[in-house]
Amino acid sequence: GAVVSQHPSWVICKSGTSVKIECRSLDFQATTMFWYRQFPKQSLMLMATSNEGSKATYEQGVEKDKFLINHASLTLSTLTVTSAHPEDSSFYICSAALTGNGQAFFGQGTRLTVV
Amino acid sequence: GQQLNQSPQSMFIQEGEDVSMNCTSSSIFNTWLWYKQDPGEGPVLLIALYKAGELTSNGRLTAQFGITRKDSFLNISASIPSDVGIYFCAGENTNAGKSTFGDGTTLTVKP
């Protein structure tokens, strides 16, 4: 149980285009999901908290107009990187937690390369 | 914000050896978590700790939640080649899954 799936696993896009990444909880409902970004050889840095049915909460320094988050159902959150630039190239990882115990389960990550 | 200092940054060991890594924080966490990340994959939860002083095992892995709530260690006994990867500690306060991650310990196991 507690499987989180991300799609796509990797994507290459042209500079200036937008890319959507999906995060699904396959066997449980998640009112809250989290989006992290990980640069090579670095740790995971929380970008935002995705709340079902309401606006996402962004961490300091993360542009909400650039990283659009939608959490339309209890099993799906999407992250859209708008007007992507090469510096947005990174590994994006989502997680969802089982309610009440803080254990978060992570997706397999999405490798974004902007050329 | 809260920061976690994880050490060592990297370890090179021989198969069969035991491994120890630790994490310290300047502030208190209610939950400590240890994850393993393989290249190109998301982190996988190894052990979750909820009470100060708690010692928990998962196979060859043992982790403890420090009494002060500001530190934790992870031990791996009798390492094997598949233990290779990056190990992250993470602290949590909300019980909702929002975690602060350490910088990771890269483990290399020589056969």
**Do the chains contact at A49 and B98, CB–CB below 8 Å?**
yes
Contact assignment for A111 to B40 by CB distance below 8 Å: yes
- Chain B residues closer than 8 Å to A36 by CB: 101
Please choose, from the candidates A27, A81, A33, A24, the residue with its C-alpha nearest in 3D space to the C-alpha of residue A54: A33
Longest dimension (CA), chain B: 41
Is the CB of residue A20 less than 8 Å from the CB of residue A88?
no
Residue B94 in this model has a pLDDT that exceeds 90: no
Residue with the two structure tokens 């598949």: B82
pLDDT at residue B106 tops 70: yes
Task: Please check whether residue B97 touches A, CB under 8 A.
Answer: yes
Residue count of chain B: 111
Band of residue B1 on the pLDDT scale cut at 50, 70, 90:
low
B104 touches chain A (CB under 8 A): yes
pLDDT given for residue A30 in this prediction: 86
Query: Is A108:A82 a contact under the CB 8 Å cutoff?
Result: no
In terms of CA atoms, which chain B residue is nearest residue A32? B96
pLDDT over 90 at A115, yes or no: yes
Output the pLDDT for position B22. Answer: 97
A35-89, pLDDT tens digit by residue? 999 999 899 999 999 988 889 999 999 999 999 999 988 899 999 999 999 999 9
Question: Do the chains contact at A34 and B102, CB–CB below 8 Å?
Answer: no
CB-based contacts of A75: which residues, under 8 Å, 6+ apart?
A24, A25, A26, A29, A30
Q: Which of residues 33-52 of B touch A (CB under 8 A)?
A: 33, 35, 40-45, 48, 50
User: Does B42 contact A107 at a Cβ distance shorter than 8 Å?
Assistant: yes
